[in-house]
């Protein structure tokens, strides 16, 4: 998985998974799904916003993306 380092997370714009994967190499979605312990199909539903992640999964995604996609970005109803 390609890891993008952010020197100051406060300088980033709100990002969703679709934006995160826009410039990622082929296979990165499958690799991310394996890392998160979910199926690529479930990840695809999250990317398309057809489903919302659980609070725990939102936190795992935040860690996996090094806070480029935050739990608050994914679940603004639960995290402030």
Considering only CA atoms, which of 30, 22, 17 is closest in space to residue 68? 17
pLDDT computed for residue 23 by the predictor: 85
pLDDT, one tens digit per residue, over 7-17 is 444 444 567 89
CB 57 within 8 A of CB 36: yes
pLDDT tens digits, one per residue of 12-66:
456 789 999 998 899 999 999 999 999 999 999 999 999 999 999 999 999 999 9
Which domains does the chain possess? 13-74 (1.10.260)
Token duo for residue 51: 């489903």
Alpha-carbon distance of 34 to 9, in angstroms, equals 25
Cα 74 from Cα 27, distance rounded (Å): 22
């Amino acid at each position: 998985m390609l890891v993008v380092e952010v020197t100051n997370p406060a300088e980033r714009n709100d990002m969703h998974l679709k934006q995160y994967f826009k410039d990622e190499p082929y296979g990165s979605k499958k690799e991310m799904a394996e890392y998160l312990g979910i199926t690529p199909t479930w990840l695809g539903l999250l990317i398309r916003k057809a489903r919302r992640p659980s609070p725990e999964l939102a936190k795992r995604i935040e860690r996996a993306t090094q806070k480029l996609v935050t739990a608050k970005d994914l679940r603004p109803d639960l995290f402030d």
